[in-house]
Amino acid sequence: MPHVPLFVPEDAYDPDPQNAYKAVIEHIDAEVGRLMKTVSALGLNDRTYVIFTSDNGPWLPFENHAGSAAPLRAGKMTTYEGGQRVPCIIWGPGRVPAGTESNEMATTMDLLPTLAKLSGAKLEPRGPIDGLDISNLIHGTGPSPRKELVYYSKDGSLHGLRQGDWKLRSTRSKQGASTELFNLAEDIGETTNLAREYPDRVQTMHTKMRQLDNQITDSIRPHGQL
């Protein structure tokens, strides 16, 4: 996997450290190719979904060992889009429309209820499930049911909220408090802070962010319980 420290088998090794990340990506590509050929050879194409995605953006301090999130801002360990937004490729012949793209919002949390729906599995949770069923989005038969998303920092601090194309970041640090508002449809790189231009939107989103955070906190299961 493309994660520091990087490793590849000897037949994919490149002694040039500038090519380390490239070598890992090429090796992953080759192995995914083997997996896809095997699925086809076993006659499982019509019963299989292949989902290729990631858990976070690149670890930028490692430079050529970490890749790039450009044109997104920042990377792993941040709540800017470079740390949160990741590629997602879904394959399912005859079910997932080939060659299509989507700008709808979804998260890896949505995979649990979605895969349960697609496989016919019954979920029996003891509390609320944070994910939403996005099977209609995957099949191209409807939009994503997800319209908002709460952001947390690496230490679990509440950092922001996204609603549609709008994203609010409200953070605190030793340097003080910071409020940022971005329109991701027009500014995917989060370069222009619109907080002063839209104070009402900032307030509304901040209130909603707190409400959702309280809901999540109230739903936390005691340690040791599944």
| pLDDT category of residue 220 using cuts at 50, 70 and 90 | confident
pLDDT digits (tens, 9 = 90+) for 168-212: 999 987 778 899 999 999 999 999 999 999 999 999 999 999 999
pLDDT tens across 33-81, in order? 999 999 999 999 999 999 999 999 999 999 888 889 999 999 999 999 9
State the Cα–Cα distance between residues 205 and 215, nearest whole angstrom. 15
CB atoms under 10 Å from CB of 134, counted, come to 24
Which of the residue ranges 97-106, 123-132, 170-179 has the most confident prediction, judged by mean pLDDT?
A: 97-106
Domains delineated in the chain: 148-226 (3.30.1120.10)
Q: Where do the H-state alpha helices sit in the chain?
A: 20-41, 81-84, 111-119, 135-139, 199-218
Cα 145 to its chain centre, rounded Å, is: 16
Residues in CB range of 8: below 8 A, 6 or more apart:
23, 24, 27
CA distance 135 to 156: 29
Closest CA to 149 of 188, 202, 110: 110
Burial of residue 86 (CB within 10 Å: 0-12, 13-18, 19+) is middle
Exposed (0-12), middle (13-18) or buried (19+): which is 208, by Cβ within 10 Å? middle
> What values do phi and psi take at 115, rounded to 5?
-65, -30
Q: Are 83 and 74 in contact (CB under 8 A)?
A: yes
Q: What is the pLDDT of residue 100?
A: 95
